[in-house]
Amino acid sequence: MTEENLPKSNFIRDIIDEHNRTGRFGGRVHTRFPPEPNGYLHIGHAKALCIDFGIAEDYGGLTNLRYDDTNPVKEDVEYVDAIKEDIHWLGYDWGDREYYASDYFEPLYEMAIQLIEKGLAYVDELTPEEMREYRGTLTEPGKNSPWRDRPIEETLDLFKRMRAGEFPDGSKTLRAKIDMASPNINMRDPVMYRILHATHHRTGDKWCIYPMYDFAHGQSDSIEGITHSMCSLEYENHRPLYDWFLDQLGIFHPQQIEFARLNLTHTVMSKRKLRRLVEEEYVDGWTDPRMPTLSAMRRRGYPAAAIREFIDTIGVAKSDSFVEVELLEHIVRDQLNQNAKRRMAVLDPLKVVLTNYPEGQFETFEIPDFPQSPESGGARTVPFGRELWIEREDFAEVPPPKYHRLSPGKEVRLMNAYFITCDEVIKDADGRVIEIHCTYDPDTKGGNAVDGRKVKGTIHWVSAAHAIEAEVHIYDQMFLDEHPEDLPEGESFLDHFNHNSLEVLTGYLEPDLANAAIGEAYQFVRDGYFALDSVHSKPGKPVFNRTIGLVDSWAKMQK
């Protein structure tokens, strides 16, 4: 194993190494990935995913997929399959260990009974408002509910009748009897069960009481024999409760470990905000290529390996942090540069006529998919003729300093074809350049001059007679602000949505692109990386998404 393949050191691995040293789990490492099926997975979940699956893999352990489905009013099957697809796309697999917290409703209920019998839980009848008042504040202790000391038998009876559906929603709860004066508010007699007459996506109408997260998660971990239960920082305050239930029940006790969740600049990561962007139609659904969801990134053309590499690169720690989206983009470009076949496409066309090229004559060039390493094999045939499209910005009537492209009297190379010299500029009545007339040099076929002369500029082109048209989507950040959630009082992140984040163009593409396949990456030379849109493309009517533009140092130079 080389230096760079060594897993990065981090505090989670330190903890696991320590456990292995002391033998706490007998050297076993078993994790779980616990999504709630109430939305699509985003890049933040990818971090959790890579930590849960990645660490287990490194230590020769296993990872379970476990849906955290304890709240039927928020969750839906719709999301279950999307989540699985995204995990598989990232390259992780849970084998046959696909579980649901709802699988454990029966054992969880039995555990609740045990705690009641030990005098550690009681049925409360406070209203939600009363419960809030009784809870106290951050700086003042709470006070005991009047139902706190009701007889065990009575609680037992009531709890069974809660399950039997005798009481309306919200009328009663089962609470753990811990300490209403605890400085940790999570320990002030937390609710274990609430009454919810709602249909659950898996258990249907079998239950009308549902366990809270705190009562379900640790025990689910325990039941599955999870050794290390990783979660985000906000659960740190819940760990004493996680531990308390396990200890009182006397069952296998996993270790909860908290780490900082991922924040990315120029986007939002909360499901609530993403949902608003979808529901208020700022974007084209959860998979809109501007979204930070995994399905959006897949649709946009981000390689799964780039996301894993990204997560690996940012590391994991306990300090709140914001990763610059530029790092993600760098890694995406880096991988695409290695894997994307090169093609030519003109997105803002300007007509070029080669006046000394015979009318009606055509020829073809064999151009490698990877000009930098033609030995890798692939190539395609590209037609060439008298009339061509070039990029409008590759011509300047009055060239700025250091401009290496086409301008009157100047010679440039048409990539892999010929040198051409601009002789004449044709304009319309408004003075807009509509066509330029050039002559080509037959002694430069393939792009090299027999006399050895050099040109500074190389531009790409497409034969006008053979070009295929395609809709091309160019994206920008959804938010121009680095931190769109960091706003002055009274402003909504929606006010800062970048309405220019999608630009729709008609591109003229070299004909081989008619064979483009969904999931395949292409570089449109000198512009960026592109992928066929899986939602809007139709046979014969391709739609391309620009995954990411090439680094543009010319644009930077001009600033």
Q: How many Å apart are CA 416 and CA 421, to the nearest integer?
A: 16
- Smallest distance from RNA to CB 430, Å: 26
E strand or H helix at 379, and its extent? Answer: strand 379-385
Residues in region 184-203 near RNA by CB under 7 A: 184-186, 190-191, 194-196
Residues in region 196-235 near RNA by CB under 7 A: 196, 210, 212-214, 233-235
Please tell me which residue in 36, 125, 329, 387 is annotated as part of the active site: 36
Count other C-beta atoms under 10 Å from residue 442's C-beta.
Answer: 10
Q: Is 281 a catalytic residue?
A: no
Candidate list 42, 238, 410, 466; residue touching RNA; CB under 7 A: 238
Please tell me which residue in 32, 271, 298, 343 is annotated as part of the active site: 271
Pair type for strands 528-532 and 543-549: antiparallel
- Smallest distance from RNA to CB 369, Å: 10
Q: Which two tokens stand for residue 396?
A: 């300047």
Q: How many Å apart are CA 355 and CA 334, to the nearest integer?
A: 40
Angle between helices 43-58 and 304-314 (to 10 degrees): 80
Q: What are phi and psi of 503, to 5 degrees?
A: -125, 125
Residues 443-472 vs RNA: string with x where CB under 7 A?
A: ---xxx-----x--xxxx------------
Is residue 20 within the footprint of RNA (CB under 7 A)?
A: no
Question: Between residues 3 and 428, which has the closer beta carbon with respect to RNA?
Answer: 3
**What is the SS3 assignment for 249?**
helix
**What is the SS3 assignment for 490?**
coil
Q: What residues pair up with 195 in beta bridges, in sequence order?
A: 209
The stretch near RNA (CB under 7 A) out of 115-123, 330-338, 346-354, 424-432 is 330-338
Residues in region 126-155 near RNA by CB under 7 A: 126-128, 131-132, 135, 137-141
- HSE-CB for 16 with a 13 A CA cutoff: 25
Q: Is 13 a catalytic residue?
A: no
Count other C-beta atoms under 10 Å from residue 433's C-beta.
Answer: 15
Pair type for strands 522-524 and 528-532: antiparallel
- Smallest distance from RNA to CB 314, Å: 4
**What is the SS3 assignment for 159?**
helix
Contact 227, 194 (CB under 8 A): no
Q: Is 261 a catalytic residue?
A: yes
The stretch near RNA (CB under 7 A) out of 42-50, 87-95, 166-174, 283-291 is 166-174
Is residue 320 within the footprint of RNA (CB under 7 A)?
A: yes
Q: How many Å apart are CA 409 and CA 397, to the nearest integer?
A: 10
Candidate list 102, 145, 173, 545; residue touching RNA; CB under 7 A: 173
Is residue 182 within the footprint of RNA (CB under 7 A)?
A: yes
Is residue 487 within the footprint of RNA (CB under 7 A)?
A: no
Q: How many Å apart are CA 256 and CA 33, to the nearest integer?
A: 13
Please tell me which residue in 150, 160, 202, 261 is annotated as part of the active site: 261
Candidate list 107, 146, 151, 170; residue touching RNA; CB under 7 A: 170
Residues in region 277-306 near RNA by CB under 7 A: none
The site for RNA, by CB under 7 A, has a size of 95
Candidate list 63, 70, 295, 545; residue touching RNA; CB under 7 A: 70
Catalytic residue positions, numbered: 36, 261, 271
